[in-house]
Amino acid sequence: MIDKRKILFSLRRIQGQVNSLKIPWIEKSRVKLDPYKILIFCVLRLRTKDKVTEQAFKRLSQKASGVYEMVKISTAEIERLIYPVGFFRSKAKAIHYLSKELIEKYEGRVPHRLEELLSLPGVGRKTANLVLSLGYKRPAICVDTHVHRISNRLGWVTTKSPYHTELKLKKLLPKKVWSKLNPLFVAFGQNICRPLRPLCNKCRVRNLCLKRGVKYEGTKVKRS
């Protein structure tokens, strides 16, 4: 049986280690971002490096900071502003269409309920939960590749999909830590608990980790 006290202890240890690491830009900037901007950032972020996403987002925000400004510019202009993010043409169309949907169905506001967010074109659970947690400061667990991998690696859950990871974590963790999990595990997963060759010798919770799926351990931080 999983000891919830050990999980919370592990989270505190990870938090202490992450405090000295590079935190993802969107999490550092969350106090300045409204739900709409977080939604747009998530669209741009898919299959694109963080640095490229940040630069594209800033260019686009300077031209259109809100939903009503966004629908006034053409998809061609959005393409130009967000290039070279991955799939920039399809993302430009998605941003334009999504903005129109928000105006037509929600008077230009981003809904604050999970079901309504999931009804928006191109919005999945990961994006919806990030909007809820960062945009509306509501308890939500955004399960991306890092949260899914690390939760299974530690032995907290035994799941094959992010959806089931989310459900299991909601039963294990108190609501007060739900929204903290994603930024914590993204920074931890990028720097210490990497997909391949994790830095187990540097990890502060290595004695509490089952190391599921770890075949080889790394010895130094990979330079980008």
Q: In this prediction, what percent of the chain has a pLDDT beyond 70?
A: 92
Domains 4-24+140-208 and 25-135 share a fold: no
Token readout for 173 is 């963790």
Flag whether pLDDT at 224 surpasses 50: no
Residue 46 banded pLDDT, cuts 50, 70, 90: confident
Average pLDDT over residues 189-217: 95
Instruction: Please enumerate, as own/partner, the contacts of 173-176 that have beta carbons within 8 Å and a separation of 24 or more.
Output: 173/4, 173/7, 173/8, 173/141, 174/8, 175/139, 176/139
Nearest residue to 185 (alpha-carbon basis) of 167, 166, 171: 166
State the architecture of 25-135 in CATH terms: Orthogonal Bundle (1.10)
Tell me the CATH number of domain 4-24+140-208, given options 2.60.40.1180, 3.20.20.140, 1.10.1670.10, 3.30.70.20.
1.10.1670.10
Query: Do 60 and 73 touch, CB atoms closer than 8 A?
Result: no
Report domain extents, the chain.
Answer: 4-24+140-208, 25-135
Q: What is the CA radius of gyration of the chain?
A: 18
The confidence band for 7, taking pLDDT boundaries of 50, 70 and 90, is very high
220: left (phi over 0), alpha (psi -120 to 50) or beta: beta
Q: What is the pTM of this model?
A: 0.88
* pLDDT for the residue numbered 151: 98
